[in-house]
With several copies, the nearest count.
Chain A
């Protein structure tokens, strides 16, 4: 058993997973007291429920043909909600693409997220989200950005931590290695969070690496690393809080493997039945983070979860509004193709834009 204090001494070589509650939400250690207040726990539950609802809605919009693609977060929400609880306004969030709850905590709106997955760059403006980077599509490439930001935080003497996400598949990319190495050598305040959801699209973790766990990879860089139950919101919170402290106090980066399971498809264009079994899915269903958090809440009678349906209904309405707002977003103007490439539009781009406008004006005449 570990706790906040002993995390300092944790070694991923022992291959033990940091976990605080069991599959039913019962504390593993009877004497354990959550670091979170009851109010925070209830909020975490609501946020988790919100993320899950938003996710379901997104998938259904996509099925209706109203959005092009969407990568569901289903099953991984505890990681995101815990991040949301720990991350501060001045902290940076460097996302992968599958951590919805953390984005929301940072101030991203569902409208923006929908807009992005409908195919509009306006969805990456993140107007109210301070220090939140856009989705990074090229796997693992965002991790080196996090390190650069970390350098800037040190250089500018700012007290701010960078949270950077990557998937299990992403740990195979060269940029993962380069980022961790630079982070350690430069001693930057970066918390790397590997969401090990067992798959990179169809490729299972055993085809991805031979190491027993991914936290182990931190050993190569002398980075403190923890393997944690990513479906246990308490454990995730504890580890993230530890990591934030560590980074914030000038001790350098931390690597976290959050072990979880992608309950849904890779994206809405994917069909997981091709590459995994019902048995595996059923086994992981027992560890569903929402179920576990609810178990805890119900056992402790913190909150009447029988009102869940009403909550979900309320969330759905809210999310629907956001989606409608995204659908009502102004038409994509031609200008937007050109105007953000450089601060000042080079004449070459003006020339190309003019040629297109000339076509638009004269195409009728030409026919």
Chain B
């Protein structure tokens, strides 16, 4: 198997699907000639041609809206929002149309489109380049929302997303684009959307996280292990739908749960997960389910980011509090 980082794994997934399915096209700002500002689409235009991998004018609402048009006319567009913060101009198209066309037309027109969004902080970027908008999408009926945390998952989930008959928001934790290298099969494989992954088996506490937070949680778990504590780690992978089964099973076993997300706190993913824990495992709870999240502030510019972004130490601190509770 080839060793790949996440950028390569995503590129490989796109290449695989472009090769296999002529209805797949890839477009957005700078994804063609340039190969994307993160080089995720590098080489694809050269290989698959400019009718299938191309630059669009600079307008996110149209990028999303034209993808809907292509999709209902039989294509499978995979579009890129250059950065998380630039998905906002496309909200109306995503919320009002892409998520609803199947329901509106009682299944006559469907939107098998994928919207790729590099997201999250920690890359020393300007404002609007470090956003974590997953809760906006998670709150929007009709979408599926997935986030990989490894190259392997990235390829499998993206292929699943492209093959999915419904629109999928595919969020890429850009901070770990090149941080993790892993063996990734060269052939095609799918990771089912909606299934979480138990990254680490443990007995005393469950951490639920996703994206770049998985790596931080793993570090915290190593620290906890030194204290003799056994922590389970769930990589949610799918922001909607959420895998209640995996969560239930884990929390019923551990009785303690910590949710870790980068996004700001209020009305964020952690709140949804805490509610699910209450619904699924209330009687097993030995401590209040806790959340460690971004603040209810704008994510600071690079020099202030250290306060906002969650470190393994902070995760460990919460583990410690919860286990001693």
Do chains A and B make direct contact within the complex (CB under 8 angstroms)? yes
A residues contacting B by CB (< 8 A) are 68-69, 92, 116, 118-122, 124-126, 133-135, 137-139, 141, 143-153, 155-156, 169-170, 172-175, 178-179, 181-182, 185, 200-203, 207-209, 269-270, 274-275, 332, 334, 336-338, 340-343, 346-349, 351-353, 356, 359, 362-363, 366-367
Q: Which of B6-14, B174-182, B301-309 contacts A (4 or more CB under 8 A)?
A: B301-309
Q: How many residues of B contact A (CB 8 A)?
A: 84
The one of B32, B70, B307 that contacts A148, using a Cβ cutoff of 8 Å: B70
| B contact residues around A173 at 8 Å (CB) | 58-59, 89
Known pairs A69-B125, A151-B69, A340-B107; list 4 more (Cβ under 8 Å): A179-B65, A182-B62, A209-B57, A348-B266
Residue contact B103 to A349, C-beta cutoff 8 Å: no
The complex places the Cα of A155 from the Cα of B53 at a distance, in Å, of 12
Residue contact A274 to B34, C-beta cutoff 8 Å: yes
> In the complex, what's the smallest C-beta–C-beta distance from A187 to chain B, in angstroms?
12
Residue contact B67 to A148, C-beta cutoff 8 Å: yes
> In the complex, what's the smallest C-beta–C-beta distance from B219 to chain A, in angstroms?
14
The complex places the Cα of A122 from the Cα of B300 at a distance, in Å, of 11
| B contact residues around A138 at 8 Å (CB) | 85-86, 88-89, 92, 96-97, 128
Residue contact A137 to B166, C-beta cutoff 8 Å: no
Residue contact B108 to A182, C-beta cutoff 8 Å: no
Interface residues of B in 88-144 (CB under 8 A from A): 88-89, 92-93, 96-97, 101-110, 124-129, 141-142, 144
The complex places the Cα of A141 from the Cα of B74 at a distance, in Å, of 20
The one of A145, A156, A367 that contacts B72, using a Cβ cutoff of 8 Å: A145
Residue contact B108 to A125, C-beta cutoff 8 Å: yes
Residue contact A363 to B102, C-beta cutoff 8 Å: no
Q: Which residue of B lies closest to A138 (CB)?
A: B96
Residue contact B69 to A148, C-beta cutoff 8 Å: yes
| A contact residues around B86 at 8 Å (CB) | 138-139
Q: Which of B148-156, B253-261, B311-319 contacts A (4 or more CB under 8 A)?
A: B311-319
Does B197 touch A at the CB level, under 8 Å? no
> In the complex, what's the smallest C-beta–C-beta distance from A35 to chain B, in angstroms?
30
The complex places the Cα of A173 from the Cα of B129 at a distance, in Å, of 18
> Given A149-B70, A201-B37, A341-B141, A178–B59 Cβ distance below 8 Å?
yes
Among A138, A141, A352, which residue has the most Cβ atoms of chain B within 10 A? A138
